[in-house]
C-alpha cells in the first residue's frame, strides 16, 4: 500500500494533549505531532542536536510562544517557525483551545 492514514485523536496521547503520529502512520524519516493546549500549557526546553532533527512548528489556532535559543517568538494562527536541530526550543501556549502541528525530520 502506498499510504497510511489515521485520525490524530485516535492515537493515545503520550502527554496531555500531545499526539505523536510517527508510529501510527509508519513514518521512517519524519515525526509529526499534534498538540491541543490551553493557556498555561508549557513544554520542556530541549534540542534535537544528537538526532539531527530540525522541526517546523505551525500554529493552527490560538496563541503560543516558541522560545528558540532564548529568543521568544510570538505565534498567531497560521504562523510557522523552523528550528535548527542544535537550537534549544521551549513551547508555551497563551490561549485556551490552541492547536499546533509539529513536524520533524530526518
**For residue 66, what is the domain's CATH number?**
2.60.120.10
What is the average pLDDT across 71-98?
A: 97
Distance CA 64, CA 83 (A): 15
Please give the grid coordinates belonging to residue 38: 490551553
Task: Tell me if 2 is assigned to some domain.
Answer: no
Task: Tell me if 3 is assigned to some domain.
Answer: no
Domain around 84: 8-105
| Model confidence, pTM | 0.93
pLDDT at 58 over 70: yes
Task: Tell me if 69 is assigned to some domain.
Answer: yes
Task: Tell me if 63 is assigned to some domain.
Answer: yes
Q: How many domains does the chain have?
A: 1
φ, ψ for residue 51 (rounded to 5)? -85, -15
pLDDT on residue 106: 81
Task: Tell me if 29 is assigned to some domain.
Answer: yes
pLDDT on residue 1: 66
What digits encode the pLDDT tens for the residues 4-25? 999 999 999 998 899 999 999 9
Task: Tell me if 71 is assigned to some domain.
Answer: yes
Amino acid at each position: 500500500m502506498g499510504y497510511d492514514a489515521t485520525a490524530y485523536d485516535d492515537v493515545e496521547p503520550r502527554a496531555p494533549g500531545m499526539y505523536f503520529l510517527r508510529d501510527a502512520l509508519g513514518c521512517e524519516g519524519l515525526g509529526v505531532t499534534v498538540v491541543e493546549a490551553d493557556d498555561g500549557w508549557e513544554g520542556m526546553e530541549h534540542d534535537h542536536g544528537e538526532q539531527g532533527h530540525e522541526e517546523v512548528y505551525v500554529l493552527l489556532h490560538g496563541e503560543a510562544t516558541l522560545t528558540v535559543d532564548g529568543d521568544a517568538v510570538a505565534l498567531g494562527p497560521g504562523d510557522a517557525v523552523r528550528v535548527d536541530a542544535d537550537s534549544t526550543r521551549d513551547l508555551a501556549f497563551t490561549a485556551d483551545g490552541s492547536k499546533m502541528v509539529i513536524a520533524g525530520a530526518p
